[in-house]
Chain A
Amino acid sequence: GENVEQHPSTLSVQEGDSAVIKCTYSDSASNYFPWYKQELGKRPQLIIDIRSNVGEKKDQRIAVTLNKTAKHFSLHITETQPEDSAVYFCAATDSWGKLQFGAGTQVVVTP
């Protein structure tokens, strides 16, 4: 089945700097890669997703890149703000369409 690994587990950045989170997956048939943000005590919320027919997608300060050959995808947050502090999860679908989540990255943005 699908195995998703996510790094780093914690990330501390200064406000205004960029943050990058990387994930790898094992199932070459995976074709959907969402990223979720989960603030403390709140529900996971989709912030951006990408499908396998696209190499990069951007939404304001957030971008995701996908390298299907290497089976890895990354989340990029530019000009970080304190409200970006949260746990971020990457995920990938397996051959059956089931989402497999990474272990999460705790992002802390310090003013």
Chain B
Amino acid sequence: EAEVAQSPRYKITEKSQAVAFWCDPISGHATLYWYRQILGQGPELLVQFQDESVVDDSQLPKDRFSAERLKGVDSTLKIQPAELGDSAMYLCASSPKESGPNGNEQFFGPGTRLTVL
């Protein structure tokens, strides 16, 4: 069964450093999501792509976070500079259907656990 892939699985960095996470969605999935999950909380959407276009980045801290999905397939999320409060699990998810008012099943990757020291 196809799954969403993410790397690295774990990342430890010092504050003020730059970090990057990679996500490869299930083949053919047009919609890609990046979530941040703080320990003990539910996932919170950071950015949503429809193919290569951003459709929602309202919760993305744009002064330090950036995301791209250049060819509408895999995606990269970057943080520069990292801060202590960025320590969390970063989850990528994909959906086969176009985004819109009717929600659709999202398939999650294993996540990248970031620790900022």
> Contact residues of A with B, CB < 8 Å?
4, 6, 29, 31-32, 34, 36, 42-46, 49, 51, 89, 91, 93, 95-99, 101-104
- Kindly specify which of B11-19, B61-69, B72-80, B105-113 makes contact with the partner chain: B105-113
| Given A32-B103, A44-B108, 12 new contacts (CB under 8 A) | A31-B102, A34-B103, A43-B91, A43-B110, A46-B107, A89-B42, A89-B43, A96-B56, A97-B99, A97-B102, A98-B48, A99-B106
Whether B42 lies near A101 (C-beta < 8 A) is yes
Q: Are A97 and B111 in contact (CB under 8 A)?
A: no
Query: Which chain A residues lie closer than 8 Å to B99 at the CB level?
Result: 97
Residue of B nearest to A29 (CB): B101
Bound CA–CA A34/B101 (angstroms): 14
B45 within 8 A of A: yes
Nearest A-chain residue to B43, judged by Cβ? A101
Interface residue range, chain B: 20 to 34
B15-57 residues at the A interface, CB under 8 angstroms: 40-45, 48, 56
The listed residue (B101, B105, B108) touching A97 by CB distance below 8 A is B101
Establish whether residues B109 and A32, one from each chain, have CB atoms under 8 Å apart when the complex forms: no
The smallest C-beta distance from B41 to any residue of chain A, in angstroms, reads 6
Pair B42/A104 contact, Cβ less than 8 Å: yes
Contacts of B56 in A (CB 8 A): 96, 98
